[in-house]
Amino acid sequence: MGKGPFSFYCSGIRHRLRKVTALPQQMTGGSGSPRNIYLGGGLITKAKKKPSGGTRLWMRFDPSGQSELVELDRNAIINRAAIPARDLRFMGPIFSQSSNILAREKAMIVNLEFIEAIVTAQEVLLLDPFRQEVLPFVEQLRQQLPNKNQPQFHAHADEQEKEIKVPPGRQLLTVPEPGSLQSELPFEFQVLEIALEVVCSHLESNVADLERVAYPLLDELARSVSTKNLQNVRSLKSNVTRLLARVQKVRDEIVHLLDDNEDMAQLYLTRKWIQIQQAEGYSGAITTNSLSTTALARQSSYRSGSLVTSNFVDDNDVEDLEMLLEAYFIQLDGTRNRILSVREYIDDTEDYVNIQLDNQRNELIQLQLTLIIASFAIGINTLIAGAFGMNIPCLLYKNTDGLFWRLVAFSSAACMLLFLLMLQYARSKGLLGS
């Protein structure tokens, strides 16, 4: 059948609809994820207009220090890093300022203070990269990663790498020399070192600010005990307790890793990744060589097996990570000791203030005792005056020539003598100061 004008009109409409449908896929890269656009060496991420409820902003770093912003949801992170869903709970607001370094099969969960990142052997996914506390970590990654990984990937490639030829259709596997692996830390440990450095520097800065504020406040309290100074010291004590708890969390996490060699061995992601790649290349080489003679197969198998065993150290070798963690453990222990010194100074100041208050309380008690003795002596004189003031017939009333003043002087002198005797008795017993 021939095609009429109406059929050509319908085909044109379908062609336009296909163009309109393909446009959003081009903008999102075909997978629904935001497309990253590089302009003039910078990165502009075009986010989706209506992101899903679980989508969060991440910054991705590769071993060369290049970064890009991506929006990934919960399922995308789980599939990308091969981590269980429960690990993402440690990277939420509920566990803010917590300290966890978790080892998984293909990733490492780093949750140190304000740094929340997922580290693999090929990339780093950093959560909330635009927070004020996280910006130094981002800058350190951009500055240090290219310097540390440049010689490993570009310089002397012919001398530092060995090649395993695999059958067509597979990628060419390159294996670094043992010396190159030992000279530089793996990528995941470089990121962990930068994270620990930033966290320790941040904690030391907080301790320095605390010391700069604490000692003048405590000296002022020792000079003058007032309500304002007591409130300032109470607030200072709360800050010391919170800061000590934060430092203690990071320190305890490092101690936990140092006490368990298996956990430290699981953190060697690059080692495990290269072993998997070698195993795949070795199995492909065996499959290809199975068509050749038995002698050639045995020779290839022996060479491949010796290559695998010669390029990698024992899986239980955790010396590099142990030395790295011990260095920052010593630094955190020094920071903790500085906080404990501030807390001891607070306790000493509190003891000094309590001694001052006890001394003032004792002086008040002594004054009160002195007034009680004086009141007793005056009370006797008042009793004598009250007795003579009563309207009772008495022979002394008939002869009053100078008797009144002599009686007043005698009674007053007797009361004064009684007061001095009681005061001397109280001092002899130690009730009053000498």
The ranges assigned to domains in the chain are 1-32, 43-154, 358-428
Note the pLDDT of residue 399: 64
Closest CA to 56 of 125, 132, 138: 125
Yes or no: say if 349 and 222 are a contact pair by the CB < 8 Å rule.
yes
Helix ranges (DSSP H) in 55-102: 74-81
Indicate whether 288 pLDDT > 80. no
pLDDT tier at 204 (50, 70, 90 boundaries)? very high
Note the pLDDT of residue 117: 92
Least confident of 98-102, 170-174, 245-249: 170-174
Helix ranges (DSSP H) in 120-186: 135-153, 157-160, 178-183
pLDDT tier at 183 (50, 70, 90 boundaries)? very low
Indicate whether 272 pLDDT > 80. yes
What value, to the nearest 5°, has the Cα angle with vertex 377 and ends 373 and 378?
A: 115
Q: Distance between CA atoms of 291 and 187, rounded to whole angstroms?
A: 39
Indicate whether 92 pLDDT > 60. yes
Collect all residues with Cβ–Cβ distance below 8 Å to 428 and sequence separation of at least 6.
none
Collect all residues with Cβ–Cβ distance below 8 Å to 432 and sequence separation of at least 6.
366, 369, 370, 423, 426
CATH class of the domain defined by 43-154 = mainly beta
Yes or no: say if 194 and 273 are a contact pair by the CB < 8 Å rule.
no
Q: Distance between CA atoms of 118 and 88, rounded to whole angstroms?
A: 10
Note the pLDDT of residue 150: 60
Yes or no: say if 198 and 132 are a contact pair by the CB < 8 Å rule.
no
Cα dist from 432 to 368, 375, 422, whole Å: 10, 16, 11
**Chain segment 379-409, per-residue pLDDT in tens:** 988 888 887 777 777 776 666 676 777 778 8
Query: Reduced to 3 states, what is the DSSP secondary structure of residue 433?
Result: coil
**Rg, the chain, Cα only:** 42
For range 349-364, the mean pLDDT: 91
**Chain segment 156-165, per-residue pLDDT in tens:** 434 444 443 4
Note the pLDDT of residue 124: 92
For range 251-262, the mean pLDDT: 92
Half-sphere exposure of 281 (CA within 13 A, CB side): 22
Higher pLDDT, residue 41 or 210: 210
Q: What is the mean pLDDT of the chain?
A: 76
Note the pLDDT of residue 94: 62
Least confident of 171-180, 245-254, 398-407: 171-180
Cα dist from 87 to 92, 100, 103, 301, whole Å: 10, 10, 10, 40
- The overall longest dimension of the chain from CA atoms, in Å, is 163
Collect all residues with Cβ–Cβ distance below 8 Å to 32 and sequence separation of at least 6.
48
Q: Distance between CA atoms of 27 and 44, rounded to whole angstroms?
A: 13
Closest CA to 105 of 258, 343, 265, 238: 265
| Predicted TM-score (pTM) of this structure | 0.67
Characterise 128 by phi-psi region: left (phi > 0), alpha (psi -120 to 50), beta (else).
left
Q: Distance between CA atoms of 166 and 364, rounded to whole angstroms?
A: 95
Q: pLDDT > 70: what percent of the chain?
A: 67
Note the pLDDT of residue 69: 92
